[in-house]
Amino acid sequence: MNRQELLNLYDLNLEELISYAEKITRKNFKTKEIEVCSIISAKTGKCHENCKYCSQSTHNNASVDCHPLLEIEKVKQSALRAKENGATRFCIVTSGRSVSDYDFKKIISMIKAVSSIDGLHCCASLGLLNEEQIKQIKNAGVERFNHNINTSENYYNKICTTHNFKDRINTLNLLAKYGIEACTGVILGMGETKEDRIDMALSLAKLNPKTVPINILNPIKGTKLENYEDKITEEEFIRTICIFRIAMPKAILRYAGGRKTRLSKETQKLGLRAGINGMLSGDYLTTEGVELSEDRELIENYIKS
């Protein structure tokens, strides 16, 4: 569909829009299975990029517990606990534009340790990578790489200026070249327009991502967006999920950050109808997330419905 067609759908009666998206989900996913993943912040804070939403940026004044790269065994034990709690994927995340050569060697060993766990798939989110680094993480066991576009190309410089939208697209294209699945999504509620949300959907569709994390901004004190709680309604969030499902019928749309504090339980249930079929459970990078046990209950009730 083109931009105008998606804009027209965005403004449909809400129940009609949800039903439309739900039919597309059922056509492309024969069961109501929800893919669950967990993450660990393997390195936190002291990032020199100026993303306005991020508590880890040195350009903001948020209070965050910074730490260097964790020990390999600590990450492996966290991955094992995630598996015990029902996760099938575990993502190693580091702060910063990119990783140093010293850290990268250790991260390769970390990836091998996690990918050796039977029944658990290893993912990573390590910022901007070059071609040689992508080859190495692929060989070490990374199947999927998270690298969000965050917002629309048009709105990007309102959120970050130390790198640009094309930097992110270039990394995602390199990942595809070496057969690593793309996990790329957005943060909604940062002041973008309805049109920006449509453009996000179209940009993502071109990348053919395996999974699309959909965050809703959790305004953190000390960041430039700390007062942005009213920049998107729960209904607008649901409408955007529907549009993402229509634009990307075969992608796993994943609940990610912000939903614990920004979305009611009823809205979260509605999102499953609108097209969500993946969840990031447990804590996020610097904020508290939804317990895996809570998500299991949500999933079980949805499957029974």
14-37 residue pLDDT tens: 999 999 999 999 999 988 889 989
- Looking at the DSSP bridge assignments, the partners of residue 144 are 123, 181
Mean pLDDT of the region 256-273? 93
pLDDT at 300: 85
- Tens digits of residue pLDDT in 51-62: 999 999 999 989
CA 178 to chain centre: 21
284 has a pLDDT exceeding 70: no
pTM of the full predicted structure?
A: 0.94
Band of residue 183 on the pLDDT scale cut at 50, 70, 90: very high
Catalytic residues: 47, 51, 54, 91, 123, 183, 254
Task: Reply yes or no on whether the pLDDT at 184 is more than 70.
Answer: yes
**pLDDT value of residue 305:** 76
pLDDT of residue 203: 98
> What is residue 283's predicted lDDT score, i.e. its pLDDT?
57
- For the stretch 119-167, pLDDT in tens is 999 999 999 999 999 999 999 999 999 999 999 999 999 999 999 999 9
Q: Does the structure show a pLDDT above 70 at 285? A: no
| pLDDT band at residue 64 under the 50/70/90 scheme | confident
74-105 pLDDT, tens digit each: 999 999 998 988 889 999 999 999 999 999 99
Average pLDDT value over all residues in the chain: 93
The answer to whether 230 and 246 have CB atoms below 8 angstroms apart is: no
- Angle between helix 292-304 and helix 265-274 axes, rounded to 10 deg: 60
What is the model's pLDDT at position 268?
94
Residue ranges of domains in the chain, CATH in brackets:
3-304 (3.20.20.70)
Largest CA distance in the chain: 54
Query: pLDDT > 90: what percent of the chain?
Result: 84
Return the percentage of the chain with pLDDT > 70, whole number.
Answer: 97
- Model confidence at 246, pLDDT cuts 50, 70, 90, reads very high
Helical (H) or strand (E) element with 213: strand 211-216
Exposed / middle / buried, residue 99 (Cβ in 10 Å: 0-12, 13-18, 19+): buried
